[in-house]
Structure 1
Amino acid sequence: MSSPTIQYEYRPEHFANSEPNKYTAATLRREEMVLNVGPQHPSTHGVLRLEVVTDGEVIVDVVPHLGYLHRCFEKHAESLPFNQIIPYVDRMDYVAAMNSEHAYVMGVERMLGIENDIPKRVEYIRVLVAELNRLASHFIAIGTYALDIGAYSPFLWLIRDREHILRMLEWTCGARMLYNYIWIGGLFYDLPVGFEERCSEFIKYLKPKLTELQQLVIENKIFVQRTAHVGVLPLPTAINYGCTGPVLRGSGLRYDLRRVDGYSVYPELDFEVPIGKGEVGTLGDCWDRNWVRVAECRESLKIMEQCLEQLTQNYPRTRDFNPQAVVPKKIRPKAMDFYARAESTKGELGFFFRTDGRSDVPVRCKARACSFHNLSVIGDISRGALLADLIAIIGSIDIVMGEVDR
């Protein structure tokens, strides 16, 4: 037997004598619901689970849950000599392994007091490959972000150009993503013959491609409407959460460790630090963060050009050059607590070491992962947004779960 149909009839006179503003959104009954986004969802950029509390389509709260990709980096590092930790550093931010290696290796060299003994050719090669990897990382960030919000072609374009970079890095050290190329005191090997020429050709090829990317994606009307005023991160909030990298610079603070700390040969190079300005929306929104990454790609090309000029004119390859000449035979630092940091593709990547002066194995090793701090702000900048905007907000932060859940 079917249930009787109940019909409701709306008549304006029923509400004619109602109090003013009685039936506003604030007085209506809330219907909150808890949704799980991930860890299998591709737009969470890895095995991240977001516990999302929604009221209809409006986000009430977001709680990120970790633990689905725990790599045990710190415990591995506390059972290995310093030089054998480098492959594990690669596996944290696996799309920017050169930058991670650079930060770790510089930290150990400073702890040993040999940072001033590194040959200039080695330093310029390190910066060159690190900026190549910065480009590859930003291409992943921008390309997958466009894919997240519905644009398929930019993803294919950027993966195509990223493939050129990966082939050059593979030519350098034999690996596509996990390199173990930057060693404590030097490099695994010198650049292959002809690398400088091929890298110069790639720079000439990529410059107009970045202009196309700016015009066809970043300045695209649909892209602007989808990202402007969305996921706004005020500068005080970014600072309080410890955000760094493009996430912090997108909120307007010109803070880049390549300038602030001036490590390696970066003080000798001419480049700008782009920041968000709220040109099409609100300062610190999703559009600003993506614009900063595209602008940083142009600056990386300027850095690479200067490195190539130094490597071909002032510090050219010679037959007697040995990139491992300063590599210590035994790494046994004095007993100390030491912290070193560098500008990775996603922000400040730091390493804390505690040594006892007797062993070549650190007593304690702790990584300060920039993606972890950047991810922690997602609850604050998502409240009040629409559920469809959550994916756009996640993508604009550019996280890699190997670094978050290390």
Structure 2
Amino acid sequence: MTPTTETMVGIGGAAESTDMVLNIGPQHPSTHGVLRLKLVLDGERITSAEPVIGYMHRGAEKLFEARDYRQIIMLANRHDWLSAFSNELGVVLAVERMLGMEVPERAVWTRTLLAELNRVLNHLMFLGSYPLELGGITPIFYAFTEREELQHVMEEVSGGRMHYMFNRVGGLKEDLPAGWTTRARAAVADVRSRMDRFDDLVLGNEIFRGRTRGVGVLAPEAVHAYGVSGPIGRASGVDFDLRRDEPYLAYGELQDVLKVVTRQEGDCLARFECLLEQTHNALDLADACLDRIAELPPGPINQRPSPASDSTTARCSGWRPPHRRPRSRPPRTSTNPSAGHAPPTTRPARPTPCAPPSTGCARRSRTSSTRCAPCPAARTGSPWSSG
């Protein structure tokens, strides 16, 4: 008979105080970055979490340095895939503020509208996926149903479902399609009519409330220390919202509609309640923007120049946008002087045209200070005509 060895493992009372160390990531399929979390669990409760962020750096800052302000919009667009429009907005607002650029009113209100629709898309993803972590499968299907309603109108106006690339420095890419505001208003009304599913199905569920109340409490002192903002900070009682306290876009005219939602508990339940109530308010803000856009007269949607609209500029056929350098040709010379050709000559450089005269020559050539013939500034000694 083959001898065997048996090992007895005894588990006594000490096992109750043994913590489990759990690694999440860095290969999680939905973390584009990638984030690794080292968690210490006591049963189902996380007692400590150590984020390992070394996997996340993608060099966006260096990529920004090697591109101009128009090109970095695409990079910022991807910082938060659920808030792509707002990511673009942060870049163009900063550039416009540095340049002192005034954006057309129609663009301001359209940006505000699309920002609020994008906010609803963002919050719906969280409101549907968070119950999924607790075993509630149904809310995620409702969330995606409502997201598709709004996703259709966002895709129609921008051409993209995830990365819209609709903002431009000075306004928006183009005006709204014909009839789009009517379809957007219908989508907002449809989503609002079904938002009570989350109030009843999720917040009304005693299991959900029991497993989120008092969990993950974030004190106001920690909010200030870490610079936490948005619904997470407001759920801990920090009453701060840039849309109200430092208004941008059209929020200064929407103070009667804007509602800053706060809670005092600072737990998971309070954060969910803030997000849900803020989603309701975002739909109200979107309706207010649609009403204001309907009252606006026709006008430009951006500050893009239209050189073909000026007759003098049309005659200046060599006009080029400022980001393109005019091609330079080598001097024309004779290749065979002994054959009786004229001695080598150099063709005089053609003057580089400037911006339309109606704009007062606010644009200078990147390669030369010369002016085109129709430009009055070349004859009157504008300060732009000197090197």
The structure 2 residue matched to 1:157, chosen from 139, 142, 147, is 142
Over 3 Å counting, the alpha-carbon distance change for 1:304 and 1:94 in structure 2 is: same
- Equivalent residue, structure 2, for 1:70: 57
The answer for the alignment partner of 1:379 in structure 2 is none
Structure 2 Cα separation of the partners of residues 168 and 2 of structure 1:
71
> TM-score, normalising length from structure 1?
0.69
Matched, 1:187 2:165: no
d(CA) in 1 for partners of 2:9 and 2:198?
55
Residue by residue, what CA displacement relative to the aligned partner does 1:51-103 show, whole Å, maximum 9, x if unpaired? 12346666443111124343321111100011111111111111101111112
Which residue of structure 2 aligns with residue 145 of structure 1? 130
1:95 equivalent in structure 2: 82
Residues matched between the structures, number = 305
Q: Which amino acid aligns with 1:225?
A: G
Q: Distance in 2 between matches of 1:264 and 1:6?
A: 70
1:285, 1:326 → 2: CA distance? Answer: 47
Q: Which amino acid aligns with 1:254?
A: D
Match for residue 215 of structure 1 among 178, 183, 200: 200
* Matched residue type, 2:149: H
CA distance, structure 2, for counterparts of residue 263 and residue 272 of structure 1 = 15
Residue 204 of structure 2 corresponds to residue 226 of structure 1: no
Q: Which of 185, 209, 230 does residue 245 from structure 1 map onto?
A: 230
Write the mapping of 1:66-145 to structure 2, written as runs, cut at 5 A.
Answer: 66-114=53-101, 117-145=102-130
Deviations 1:3-32 (A, max 9, x none): 578799x9xxxxxxxxxxxx9x8xx99545
Structure 1 residue identity aligned to 2:293: L
Q: In the alignment, is the contact (CA less than 8 A) between 2:106 and 2:300 conserved in 1?
A: no
Change (3 A) 1:177 1:327: farther
More strand by share: 1
Taking the aligned partners of 2:237 and 2:47, their CA distance within structure 1 comes to 27
Looking at structure 2, the residues matched to 298 and 330 of structure 1 have their Cα atoms a distance apart, in angstroms, of 45
Q: 1:306 aligns with which of 268, 274, 288?
A: 288
1:292 pairs with one of 255, 260, 274: 274
Contact 2:258 2:281 in 1 (8 A): yes
Pick one of 199, 224, 240 that aligns with 1:255: 240
Q: CA deviation at 1:47?
A: 3.6
SS in 1 for 2:194: helix
Question: Which sits farther off after the overlay, 155-164 or 124-133?
Answer: 155-164
Kept in 2, the 8 Å contact 1:43–1:148? The answer is no
CA distance in 2, matches of 1:7, 1:146: 38
In structure 1, how many angstroms separate the alpha carbons of the residues matched to 2:55 and 2:106?
Answer: 41
Which is bigger in relative contact order (C-alpha 8 A, separation at least 6)? 1
* Structure 2 CA distance for partners of 1:127 and 1:35, relative to 1, 3 Å: same
Counterpart amino acid of residue 259 in structure 1: R
How big is the shift at 1:260? 1.2
TM superposition shift of 1:46: 7.2
The CA deviation at 1:180 is 1.3
TM-score (norm 2): 0.72
Greater Rg by CA: 2
Cα 1:142–1:57 change in 2 (3 A) is closer
- Kindly report which structure 2 residues correspond to 1:322-333, keeping only aligned pairs within 5 A, or say none: 322-325=300-303
